[in-house]
Amino acid sequence: MAVRSENWSVIILGRWNRSILTPERIGKRIFGLEDPQNVDIMVPLDGVSPYLVKHPQKGIIVSTEGTRLQVQPEKPDYDSLRLAMEAGVEALKWLPETPVTAAGVNVNFRAGETTADFARFLQSTVDGELAKLERTIIGRSVSRSVRFEEGRLNIGFAQEGDEFRLNCNFHRDSSNLDQLKQWLCTPVSEIERTVNGLLVAFDLEVEEHADVAHREPSA
């Protein structure tokens, strides 16, 4: 089944002070720009969502909301993901006094339709019991967590209507800054190798696409 890469990100959970994370400081401290004002700022039209600060050349976007600091590559590919992970490390170096709780790297995929084989894969005995209750199923999901280095890899398969999603969340819980910096220094080649292994195991093939979506990821 063909899938498209979508909504890749790096998330650091902590008590971030949004008043400190101004576009200029993000440009200087996280992006390392000589002219920190040379950033692109995207202001949400709804007046509620956080503003987005984009690196002028690297195509990575920083935003903060609540307990999340998010670095999202504009292109969902591994070279861009590496740049996002490096920016996450710079954020941790810059604000070592910020209480943190976890860091995650998200590599996600979507398909506009689900094959019959995958639809059967997502079914379980629960479906039969719901059918007896005359309940129509509109969405299914299967998830597993496996060990990955010093943390975990959360794997989620989901179907809603004809749409299919595979979410790969490389997650580590820790309040230790050095441990989270080490986690975000995981070689991106190892993440790519692990994800490719999952794609092969479940007979999924990635197709190229040019559009980019910015959505809320997992932590």
In a domain, 218, yes or no: no
Q: Which residue range(s) make up the domain with 108?
A: 2-207
In a domain, 88, yes or no: yes
Which two three-digit tokens encode residue 14?
């902590």
pLDDT digits (tens, 9 = 90+) for 96-121: 889 999 999 999 999 988 777 777 77
Number of domains in the chain: 1
Asked if 148 and 141 touch (Cβ cutoff 8 Å), the reply is no
In a domain, 68, yes or no: yes
Q: What is the pLDDT of residue 135?
A: 87
Q: What are phi and psi of 187, to 5 degrees?
A: -55, 130
Q: What is the CA radius of gyration of the chain?
A: 19
Residue 96 CA: distances (Å) to CA of 10, 12, 52, 88: 18, 13, 22, 12
In a domain, 216, yes or no: no
In a domain, 212, yes or no: no
Asked if 16 and 219 touch (Cβ cutoff 8 Å), the reply is no
In a domain, 71, yes or no: yes
**Assessment of whether the complete model's pTM goes beyond 0.85:** yes
Q: How far apart are CA 187 and CA 185, in angstroms?
A: 6
According to DSSP, the β-strands at 100-111 and 68-73 are unpaired
In a domain, 219, yes or no: no
Asked if 37 and 22 touch (Cβ cutoff 8 Å), the reply is no
Local structure of residue 34 (DSSP, 8 states): S
Q: What is the pLDDT of residue 215?
A: 47
Asked if 74 and 61 touch (Cβ cutoff 8 Å), the reply is yes
- Amino acid identity of residue 180, one-letter, is L
Q: Splitting the chain (219 residues) into consecutive groups of 10 residues, what average pLDDT does each group show?
A: 94 91 92 87 76 92 92 96 97 92 97 79 83 86 94 94 92 97 97 97 83 49
Asked if 85 and 74 touch (Cβ cutoff 8 Å), the reply is no
In a domain, 61, yes or no: yes
Asked if 38 and 24 touch (Cβ cutoff 8 Å), the reply is no
Q: What is the pLDDT of residue 47?
A: 64
Helices (H) and strands (E) in the chain, counts: 6, 11
Q: What is the pLDDT of residue 214?
A: 46
